[in-house]
Amino acid sequence: MLRTRAGNPHSSTLAPSSAAVADRHGVQRDGDVAEKPGGRSPSAAGARGARRTDGAACAPDTAESGMHSASNSRPDACAMSDADLDMAFDSDYEHFMRVAHDDAFNRNEAQLIAEVAELTPGMRVLDAPCGYGRISLELARRGLRVHGVDRRPPLVESALADADRAGLSVSAEVADLRSFRSAEGFDAAVMWFTSFGYGSDEDSRAMLRNLRGALRPGGRLVIDTFNPMYQYARAHAQSPQFIVWPRVGSDLMLDRFTIEHDAERVLAQRTVVRDGEVRDFSWSLRILVPGEYRQWLADAGFVDVDFRGEQGGSFDWTKRRMIVIARTPETDERATPTLCGLR
């Protein structure tokens, strides 16, 4: 485990016919779509103007990818591999997201998390996955004792370095949430910014079980993701959809989104233009409707599953975001099924 003492809007430009400027969730301002990863392979050749195609999660034109074609897919057939995750969350991800998510935005998110998870200073919070630590640091600033977990070492290192620079006490470790275990008894676990559902269904279910095991009795889990019903409605109105992420100097990042209905996944083909080099790859995310969240969370031992829209308000199909809130039982027994709150 790495430990340290110590503590980021927008794009413009070139838009294919239906492109929209992304808001800070990667959501089109006049509509929506999920947000996501990006990345530059350290080994990427830097030839100016070069185009690389790095493979894809479930993309139809990715013969070199280890991923399966979408044509006869089920959710697991389109699951992202470890190599896909590495590609999606390398230095390009941090490069663009640090601009898309500025300090004021991150503060606002931390405030929202504190509200929906009912956090008070001194509580122990698991930020999983933590990425480069933007949420961890803001929660630590609010007096919370934060531990971050992410499978990408460079992101964890960035989080700890930022915490050091800011004089904030944050701990973090490189770990895979599919196998992560902790007996810490955290008061809350935060899975923010569409971080759930890259892998197979069993991967995702394992993560829920592991988070449940890391929480104290009565501990809260909050998951922030796109609203599947809103996504389906948008896709019905227009597909594909495009997001142009905030520019970083002359660097650009563009996502082209479709929904793979058979695989029940959002599929994104991402193009990154950085330092004159063009790189294409894909990522995908499982779409779970509220009833599936309820079931998966109950199966993992959570109770009292609730849903909110963006900013913690009421939830319905018109909301772009969906915040899922659940808690572990007050006693350490497995959850029993409930009907309208009655056991």
Ligand X SMILES: C[S@@+](CC[C@H](N)C(=O)[O-])C[C@H]1O[C@@H](n2cnc3c(N)ncnc32)[C@H](O)[C@@H]1O
Task: List residues near ligand X by CB under 6 A.
Answer: 36-37, 85, 89, 129-131, 134-135, 150-152, 155, 176-178, 192-195, 198
- In the complex, the smallest distance separating the C-beta of residue 233 from ligand X, rounded to whole angstroms, is 23
Q: How many CB atoms lie within 10 A of CB 267?
A: 23
CA distance 246 to 260: 26
* Dist. CA 180–CA 94, nearest whole Å: 23
Q: How far is the CB of 69 from ligand X (least distance, A)?
A: 23
CB of 254 to ligand X, least distance (A): 17
Find the residue with minimal CB distance to ligand X: 131
Q: Given the complex with ligand X, which of 53 and 194 has the nearer CB atom? A: 194
Contact 198, 80 (CB under 8 A): yes
Least Cβ distance, residue 94 to ligand X (angstroms): 9
Min dist. Cβ of residue 37 to ligand X (A): 6
Task: Decide if 196 contacts 225 (C-beta within 8 A).
Answer: yes
- Token pair of 245 as six digits: 């992420």
Beta bridge partners of 307: 324
Residue 90: CB partners within 8 Å, gap ≥ 6?
Answer: 38, 39, 40, 41, 42, 152, 154
Give whichever of 205 and 329 is closer to ligand X, judged by the CB atom: 205
* Shortest separation between residue 102's beta carbon and ligand X, angstroms: 13
CA distance 124 to 208: 18
Closer of 182 and 194 to ligand X (Cβ): 194
Distances (CA, A) of 266 to 34, 60, 100, 215: 8, 13, 21, 30
130 vs 288, which CB is nearer to ligand X? 130
Which of 89, 257 has the CB closer to ligand X? Answer: 89
Rank residues 172 and 335 by Cβ distance to ligand X and give the closer one: 172
